[in-house]
Amino acid sequence: MAKLTLNDVADLTQPTTAKTTINNNSAAIETAMENTFSRDGTSPNTIACNIDMDSNRVLNLPEPVTANEPLRLQDLEDFIGGGTIASIPAGGTTLQVLAKTSGTDYAIAWTDDSSLITAGTNIVKTGTSPTTISTSLTPGFTSVNTNTLNASSVVNLSGLTASSAVATDGSKNLVSVTNTGSGSNVLATSPTLVTPVLGAATGTSLNLAGLTVSSAVATDGSKNLVSVTNTGSGNNVLATSPTLVTPILGTPTSGTLTNCTLPVGGITGLGTGVGTFLATPSSANLISAVTDETGSGSLVFATSPTLVTPTLGSATATQITFNPTTGGIVGTPTNNSAGAGFVGEYIESILVSGSATGLTTGTDKTVTSISLTAGDWDVDCNLVYIPNAATSISRYSVALSLTTNTFDSTAGRFSQTVIPATVLGAFNLSIPVPAYRFSLSGTTSIFMVANAAFTVNTLAAWGIIRARRIR
């Protein structure tokens, strides 16, 4: 069955009938094209029915990248590493697991977890699926770690008596303990000692709160609890918040004198006048203390100082205000130039007559230009036209422009002269643009642009453009 049937045009001499038949055929073709799968992706391209490939293959499918794209055989083999996919074995019971039965691909079977677990020494395995393991109630150890603790080891003996430190077989000590004295073991926090006898302590710091020199002797009268060398008199001094009465301090390693009152007049080792300034800080006392000052009078701080007849060296400043009744900015006393960025900086560009630029009638043409950095500038120019002996000129003009080869007709930026068509012969025409302010926020080029109306022969232009930084 044909997918598209078109009507034949019976007679072209009947234009109305032929037109209708052709239009109907075109509409039928459009409908058929809309119902055909589009290779170039023209919408619509959705397939709304099954496709019969008639045993032909679909070739050159791309690698799938989303979940809804077709999977190629190569993609499947890459995923599973080749081979044949086998089904999961049937059967099995609750809590059984799949295990490999051989080295063959997908050789698996259901099994109990007990067959995968091996019991060890003092480990008991009971039950299946799931298998339970537990420790033995009567483990048999073949060896005991009998490492001797060194003298620096710390063992917590809280609640441990000497008799409980022996193993049940009576042959090995769990902990090797050498006891002295009798009673309970002594731990670090808040111990109570009953009639102890202390030997000499080396490098040991003991709390002597409430201890007098006479009580530092043992009951047998033969040994000191602490070897004490006394200096000064009064109470023992402890670390926290002591009050010392007229002490003599040596050289401390460090310290903080917060809340201390220093007798400034009694401090030695200070420079001349420094103690006086510390006790009474003033400009006069500071001048007496320092040795490399310049000038005299009171101290000067940064904000709004008043200086009396100062002598200023080379200074960098953003603004200086002068009193016009007493003087102003002094100009340079010689024929030098102001530096870049300074008020009075001068920039110019001259195109000499020998290099004059040729012009086309009625066409804007840049003759020369200058580049100015950010600032406030006055810019002017003077353009000179050079006609040929036979050139007839009816208009000539010049402009200061921010765009090359573009005449700027902004008021103040251009000059223009209109004359009857005239042949000037060898006479040149000069036309200036007075100083015009350009306030620039960044580096900018200013162009001197010429435009003239002339006929018959040639016309060229040369001249100068210049700028002066006003501020």
Instruction: Give residue 164's pLDDT band: very low, low, confident or very high (50, 70, 90).
Output: very low
Between 266 and 107, the higher pLDDT residue: 107
Between 174 and 195, the higher pLDDT residue: 195
**How far is residue 352 CA from its own chain's centroid?**
54
Q: What pLDDT was estimated at residue 47?
A: 67
Cα–Cα nearest to 438, from 399, 397, 398, 402: 402
Backbone torsions φ then ψ of 452, nearest 5 degrees: -140, 150
The answer to whether the beta carbons of residues 357 and 324 sit under 8 Å apart is no
What is the percent of the chain where pLDDT is above 70?
72
Mean pLDDT in residue range 121-144: 72
- Highest averaged pLDDT of the listed ranges 22-26, 94-98, 330-334: 22-26
Q: What pLDDT was estimated at residue 430?
A: 96
Instruction: Give residue 151's pLDDT band: very low, low, confident or very high (50, 70, 90).
Output: very low
**How far is residue 139 CA from its own chain's centroid?**
62
Among 123-132, 150-159, 355-364, the minimum mean pLDDT is found in 150-159
Q: Prior bond to 263 cis, omega within 30?
A: no
Among 121-125, 169-173, 358-362, the minimum mean pLDDT is found in 169-173
What is the percent of the chain where pLDDT is above 90?
29
Q: What pLDDT was estimated at residue 411?
A: 97
Between 346 and 120, the higher pLDDT residue: 346
Q: What pLDDT was estimated at residue 289?
A: 81
Q: What pLDDT was estimated at residue 149?
A: 43
Between 286 and 405, the higher pLDDT residue: 405
- pLDDT tens string 440-452: 999 999 999 999 9
* One-letter amino acid for residue 230 of the chain: N
Q: What pLDDT was estimated at residue 172?
A: 45
- The C-alpha angle with vertex 134 and arms to 130 and 139, in degrees rounded to 5, equals 155
Distance CA 184, CA 457 (A): 129
Q: What pLDDT was estimated at residue 251?
A: 83
Q: What pLDDT was estimated at residue 451?
A: 98
Mean pLDDT in residue range 431-439: 98
Among 51-55, 168-172, 230-234, 336-340, the minimum mean pLDDT is found in 168-172
The answer to whether the beta carbons of residues 397 and 416 sit under 8 Å apart is yes
Task: Give the global pTM.
Answer: 0.39
Mean pLDDT in residue range 198-207: 48
Between 60 and 103, the higher pLDDT residue: 60
Instruction: Give residue 199's pLDDT band: very low, low, confident or very high (50, 70, 90).
Output: low
Return the DSSP state at 461.
E
Judged against a pLDDT cut of 60, whether residue 420 lies above it is answered with yes
Q: What pLDDT was estimated at residue 237?
A: 76
Judged against a pLDDT cut of 80, whether residue 54 lies above it is answered with yes
Among 177-186, 242-251, 376-385, the minimum mean pLDDT is found in 177-186
Mean pLDDT in residue range 95-121: 78
Q: What pLDDT was estimated at residue 84?
A: 53
Which domains, and CATH codes, for the chain? Answer: 7-86 (no CATH), 346-469 (2.60.120)
Judged against a pLDDT cut of 80, whether residue 218 lies above it is answered with no
- pLDDT tens string 379-402: 999 999 999 989 999 999 999 999
Q: What pLDDT was estimated at residue 323?
A: 60
Instruction: Give the N- to C-terminal CA distance of the chain in Å, as an integer.
Output: 92
How many C-beta atoms lie closer than 10 Å to residue 375's C-beta? 20
Judged against a pLDDT cut of 70, whether residue 39 lies above it is answered with no
Q: What pLDDT was estimated at residue 206?
A: 47
Q: Prior bond to 89 cis, omega within 30?
A: no
Both tokens of 16, joined, read 């109305």
Instruction: Give residue 431's pLDDT band: very low, low, confident or very high (50, 70, 90).
Output: very high
Average pLDDT, the chain: 78
Q: What pLDDT was estimated at residue 86?
A: 58
- Highest averaged pLDDT of the listed ranges 121-135, 232-246, 311-325, 373-387: 373-387
